[in-house]
Amino acid sequence: MPAQSIAYSTTDKIVVRGKDLVDELIGHVDFTSMICLHLRGEMPTPGQRAVVDSVLVALMEHGLTPSSLTARLIYSSAPEAVQGAVAAGLLGAGGHFLGSTENAGRLLREGAVALDQGTAVEDFATAAVARHLAARLPFPGFGHHIHRPDDPRAPRLLTVARENGVAAVHVEVLEAIGVAMDKAKGRHVTVNATGAVAAVLLDAGFPWNSLRGFSLIARAAGLVGHVLEEAERPVDRAIWDAAEERIPYDGPRTAG
Amino acid sequence: MPAQSIAYSTTDKIVVRGKDLVDELIGHVDFTSMICLHLRGEMPTPGQRAVVDSVLVALMEHGLTPSSLTARLIYSSAPEAVQGAVAAGLLGAGGHFLGSTENAGRLLREGAVALDQGTAVEDFATAAVARHLAARLPFPGFGHHIHRPDDPRAPRLLTVARENGVAAVHVEVLEAIGVAMDKAKGRHVTVNATGAVAAVLLDAGFPWNSLRGFSLIARAAGLVGHVLEEAERPVDRAIWDAAEERIPYDGPRTAG
Amino acid sequence: MPAQSIAYSTTDKIVVRGKDLVDELIGHVDFTSMICLHLRGEMPTPGQRAVVDSVLVALMEHGLTPSSLTARLIYSSAPEAVQGAVAAGLLGAGGHFLGSTENAGRLLREGAVALDQGTAVEDFATAAVARHLAARLPFPGFGHHIHRPDDPRAPRLLTVARENGVAAVHVEVLEAIGVAMDKAKGRHVTVNATGAVAAVLLDAGFPWNSLRGFSLIARAAGLVGHVLEEAERPVDRAIWDAAEERIPYDGPRTAG
Amino acid sequence: MPAQSIAYSTTDKIVVRGKDLVDELIGHVDFTSMICLHLRGEMPTPGQRAVVDSVLVALMEHGLTPSSLTARLIYSSAPEAVQGAVAAGLLGAGGHFLGSTENAGRLLREGAVALDQGTAVEDFATAAVARHLAARLPFPGFGHHIHRPDDPRAPRLLTVARENGVAAVHVEVLEAIGVAMDKAKGRHVTVNATGAVAAVLLDAGFPWNSLRGFSLIARAAGLVGHVLEEAERPVDRAIWDAAEERIPYDGPRTAG
């Protein structure tokens, strides 16, 4: 039987996840707690809330990226539809950037299960690294094309999780993989933000398939900011001109 | 000269709105404060933050609506691309639902300017109501197709704004319009959530053209929740079947 | 009673607009005729089909534009979801570019009605131009930021419509407005592609609110081409780098 | 060096794939030929054009599906942005429906290569079927949830390809797989439209990664038709109501 357990409304009330929106939620809980309640049906502990806040703050903004450039181009082309600009930008939150979070999440879950079955964390980490290097697979959650030697967001997120008593087995597995990775490579490879995000959200009790959702929520906010600035100080023409200059036509030409 | 003032990053740091993401934001501020910082370049007061929290909590979820039905249909059609499902749902956050917020915002701004120039609030309200009724225009921020006699979210949002010392001229104008409206109509017409959202966000210092953005941020979170439930308990087939039964084909038929 | 008249299917057939898809359409009609059938319920005349072909060919491609840049940025960010890249690009087909087609369509319809009621075409044209100039409104269907003195697509579209016996009152009104415009401005202003598209599609019997749809269909095809090239020879990084260089950060900096 | 070979424009001309848009394309070629030119840089033969027409006609419309329901829901929520409704509908053209085309395309390519290397077509087909059945994998291009025993579009598409001299090795492989499948299953399994589309487009010379693009182009046209009907006879409320009735809330309730 099809059914849903998120919300219902009547003429005089709205109920979300079993709580009265007006009497129990608006003015009673913050947005981050409401997100936690919506996504998994229960309120967060103070520590979990702090971790989710840190993740959403970390993921909101990274300057001019494909997503924010897209939101600005689309806003200036169709200013009557702000929702189109934000939606277009979110469509860039795909496999290339966010698949990595989910893959990291799956690997950390695998490690947590292995530890639970008695495997030592160093053994799991060493084997996982060896397996990926042998298959020449990119290692989810490690490396960054700008931030070197370290993605500064990653240690900060792990610290927040630790200080709030949330860091547990998934953070432990992530850090063990980091040690094993540096040893196998003979040089330091940074844990990146998506690796740290995966570890702290799993330790905060969220399932691995919800990880991409946090990026979408945080980025939606960042894209709204870009659209508001684009409305005041448009750069669409600059993007367009720069692209035309940088990317010449090299196909066949006409006789004329 | 084209430029942007939102964020930049170097190999070892990310700066958003002039603040170091790692040293000043992650683990130091909550998501709602970060949204305020991003959208207008400065941190909120505690009262402003409480108002923004109440707005985002109020707008996140309203059950099975065109937006959430869309997100579920698209997720089940293209489960490899969660971002597509959330983006598709956000595309429903358009003129029909959210235009109303912006129109309400513009009217409240107009009232605030009039009061500033010496007009009595009752006079502005009476004239505004008369003008809309004469032109048979829908009155932005008033009326709701489900919630009668009152949209329960509206008074709650106004109370939160008042208790946090944020309610000011825009709330005053909204309430005066409510009184004038009931008098002109000879019956009670509810202030709806979008009317109250417009008033409290304007009083919290946000510009009218940012109002739609708050709905998009809040709805992005709600849609992620619907997608996660759709992954566990799909209802796409139920929507599809119900639509096919309810909406028969009444065009020409073939001879065969 | 809700109903639809587009299509239905049974276990052994699919019927679109009253025609059996397999026995009457696949292999029997070309794509352009099928589009006409779908959009207004009847097959085009050969002349109408030629005009629709010319419009779709004219609108498909215009090099690196906000739409095609967007499709390429999104494809490279989320290559698992080609549909997301095409959808994102289409979101740029909004008011700024296509609103113009609909506004031109409305004006031409207004002219056709006036002629039908006995107004001379020159009088309508002169008055329409005077009205827009007085209000300092942009004139829909005229002017182009690249193509000067003439958008070469416009006269070609009008010629195709004339040669195929489709050109009628809407083309007549458009050309009279062109004459009146040049006279009022004291210099030549080009009829642009969207003006010509509006005139010939209206003369081919399509309603003004369908005009934007033709751009969406044609652009969908063009965007698929850009995505396929992006898959072979990605330029997303070049767009990103060029934008970062051209659009510096000019906001506050941190002390560090 | 980043570059593109699709199109460029100057003040007085637009060149697409080396051809002058005005002098060689508008009014000279039909939309389907233009699509072929855009997607692979050369004009189709008459037979190839006929096959592409048949594919685009076959894929345009299938009644009320997740895509068309979505386009209608979004249009009625945001009627100011037709592009948003079409984009949202296209986002449903994902892995669940179209992944199948690409998977079928890959398998048929594999078969073509095997035949080229001397494998008998029956041997390839028998082995491919055995492999999928052993792995309990769905067989791409076969089976349909509505059309039984046969998807009527599939044989028609193959006939068109044969009559136009386009059918070649990929159609041969598809048909051999059909025979092997029926034998292995002990019952008839239909070749579906996506299987036939993959075979005839590959035989027409298109690469397997372009297959999804044809669905997007055809569906864009179909979705425009649904949006136009939705503007005249809205069914969004019927979809919404039907979904609410069919999908009850079964989560926790409040005490009140």
DSSP for chain D?
Answer: ---B-SEEE-SS-EEETTEEIIIIITTTS-HHHHHHHHHHSSPPPHHHHHHHHHHHHHHS--SS-HHHHHHHHHHHH-TT-HHHHHHHHHTTSSIIIIIHHHHHHHHHHHHHHHHHTT--HHHHHHHHHHHHHHTT---TTB--SSS-S--THHHHHHHHHHHTT---HHHHHHHHHHHHHHHHHTS---B-HHHHHHHHHHHTT--GGGHHHHHHHHHHHHHHHHHHHHHHS--HHHHHHHHHHHS-B-S-----
Q: Is 90 exceeded by the pLDDT of residue C229? A: yes
Nearest to D69 among B63, B80, B240 (CB): B240
The beta-carbon neighbor of A78 closest among C96, C236, C244 is: C96
How close is the nearest chain D Cα to the Cα of B89, in Å?
A: 8
- Chain D residues within 8 A of C227 when measuring between CB atoms: 213
What is the structure's pLDDT at C255? 64
Say whether pLDDT at C98 is over 70: no
pLDDT score, position D140? 86
Residue in chain A nearest B153 by alpha carbon: A22
User: What subunits touch chain A, counting only 3 or more CB pairs under 8 A?
Assistant: B, C, D
Pairing type for strands C7-9 and B19-20 reads unpaired
pTM value is 0.96
Mean pLDDT check: name the lowest of A219-228, B214-223, C94-103, D146-155.
C94-103
Cβ–Cβ < 8 Å for A76, D79: no
- pLDDT on residue C65: 94
Tell me what pLDDT residue B193 has.
93
Q: Of D69, D78, D238, which is closest to B91 when you measure between CB atoms?
A: D78
List chain A residues with CB under 8 Å of B21: 57-58, 61, 152-153
Measured CA to CA, the distance from residue C161 to residue C198 in angstroms comes to 12
Domain with CATH 1.10.230.10 in chain C: 45-235
Q: How far apart are CA D84 and CA B72, in angstroms?
A: 17
| Chain A residue with the nearest C-alpha to that of D86 | A84
Are C92 and C70 in contact by the 8 Å Cβ rule? The answer is: yes
Positions in chain B short of pLDDT 50: none
Please report the pLDDT score of residue D12 as a whole number. Answer: 86
- By a Cβ cutoff of 8 Å, what residues of chain A touch chain D? 2-8, 13, 15, 17-20, 23-24, 41, 78, 80-81, 83-84, 87, 246-254, 256
Residue B239 and residue D249: Cβ atoms within 8 Å?
Answer: no
Tell me the C-alpha distance between D117 and A168, whole Å. Answer: 55
* Distance (Å, whole) CA C228 – CA D206: 11
Contacts of residue B76 in chain D, CB cutoff 8 Å? 66, 96
Select from D83, D144, D214, D232 the residue whose CB has the most chain C CBs within 10 Å, as the one to mutate to test that interface.
D83
* Residue among A22, A91, A217 minimizing CB distance to B87: A91
Measure Cα distances from C61 to C58, C66, C108, D8, D74 in Å.
Answer: 7, 12, 25, 9, 26
CA A107, chain centre distance (Å): 16
Out of A84, A94, A97, the one facing C84 most closely (by C-beta) is A94
**Chain A residues inside the 8 Å CB shell of D87:** 84, 87
The model's confidence at residue D255, banded by pLDDT at 50, 70 and 90, is: low
Query: Which positions of chain A have pLDDT values less than 50?
Result: none
At A49 the three-state DSSP class reads helix
pLDDT value of residue B146: 79
Q: Number of residue pairs across A and B with CB atoms under 8 Å?
A: 267
- Where does chain C have alpha helices with state H? 31-40, 46-59, 66-77, 82-90, 100-116, 121-134, 153-163, 169-185, 193-203, 211-232, 236-246
If residue C8 lies in a helix (H) or strand (E), which one and from where to where? strand C7-9
CB contact under 8 A, A82 and B4: no
With an 8 Å Cβ cutoff, are D66 and B74 in contact?
yes
Task: Mark yes or no for CB contact D221/C84 under 8 Å.
Answer: no
- C94 CB neighbours in chain A (<8 A) are 74, 77-81, 84
Chain B residues near residue D81 by CB distance under 8 angstroms: 91, 94-95
* Residues of A within an 8 Å Cβ radius of C: 63-67, 69-70, 73-74, 76-81, 84-85, 87-88, 91-97, 99, 235-236, 238-247, 249
Mean pLDDT of D138-149: 82
CB contact under 8 A, A73 and C74: no
The chain B residue lying nearest A162, using CA atoms, is: B27
User: What does the pLDDT look like over D26-75, one tens digit per residue?
Assistant: 999 999 999 999 999 999 999 999 999 999 999 999 999 999 999 999 99
Q: How large is the average pLDDT for residues D134-147?
A: 84
Strand duo C19-20 + D7-9: pairing: unpaired
Residues of D in contact with B244 (CB under 8 A): 63-64
Q: Which of A78, A87, A250 comes nearest D5 by C-beta?
A: A250
Chain B residue with Cα closest to D72: B66
Closest in B91, B95, B240 to D66, CB measured: B240
How far lies A249's CA from each of A186, D16, D176, in Å?
Answer: 43, 10, 44
pLDDT digits (tens, 9 = 90+) for D230-244: 999 999 999 999 999
Q: What is the pLDDT of residue C12?
A: 86
Tell me what ipTM this predicted complex has: 0.96
CB contact set of A220 (below 8 Å; sequence gap of 6+): A86, A90, B90, B216, B217, B220
Chains contacting B (3+ CB pairs below 8 angstroms) = A, C, D
* Neighbors of chain D with 3 or more C-beta pairs under 8 Å: A, B, C
Is CATH 1.10.230.10 what the domain over C45-235 is classified as, yes or no? yes
Q: Which of D67, D145, D239 to mutate to test the interface with B (most CBs of B within 10 A)?
A: D239
Nearest Cα of chain C lies from the Cα of A170 at a distance, in angstroms, of 27
Searching chain A, which residue's CA lies closest to the CA of residue B8?
Answer: A63
Closest partner residue to B153 among A22, A148, A224, by Cβ? A22
Q: Quick check: helix, strand or coil at residue C190?
A: coil
Chain C interface residues (partner A, CB cutoff 8 A): 63-67, 69-70, 73-74, 76-81, 84-85, 87-88, 91-97, 99, 235-236, 238-247, 249
Mark yes or no for CB contact A66/C87 under 8 Å: no
For residue D145, pLDDT over 80 is answered with no
What are the tens digits of pLDDT across the range C157-179?
999 999 999 999 999 999 999 99
Alpha-carbon span C55 to C153, nearest angstrom: 9
Element (H, E) at C144: none
Tell me how far apart the alpha carbons of residues D198 and C89 are, in angstroms, rounded to a whole number.
Answer: 25
Is the Cβ pair D240, B87 closer than 8 Å?
no
CA distance D151 to chain A (A): 28
The rounded distance, in Å, linking the Cα atoms of D76 and D237 is: 9
- CA of B158: which chain A residue's CA is closest? A27
Residue of B nearest to A241 (CA): B2
Contacts with B152 from chain A: Cβ below 8 Å: 12-14, 21-22
CB C9 within 8 A of CB C15: yes
Encoded amino acid at D8, one letter: Y
Average pLDDT score over residue span C233-243: 96
Model confidence pLDDT, tens digit, residues A177-236:
999 999 999 999 989 999 999 999 999 999 999 999 999 999 999 999 999 999 999 999
Q: How far apart are CA A30 and CA A28, in angstroms?
A: 7
Residues of D in contact with C152 (CB under 8 A): 12-14, 21-22
Q: Mean pLDDT of all residues in chain A?
A: 94
CB A99, CB C80: distance < 8 Å: yes
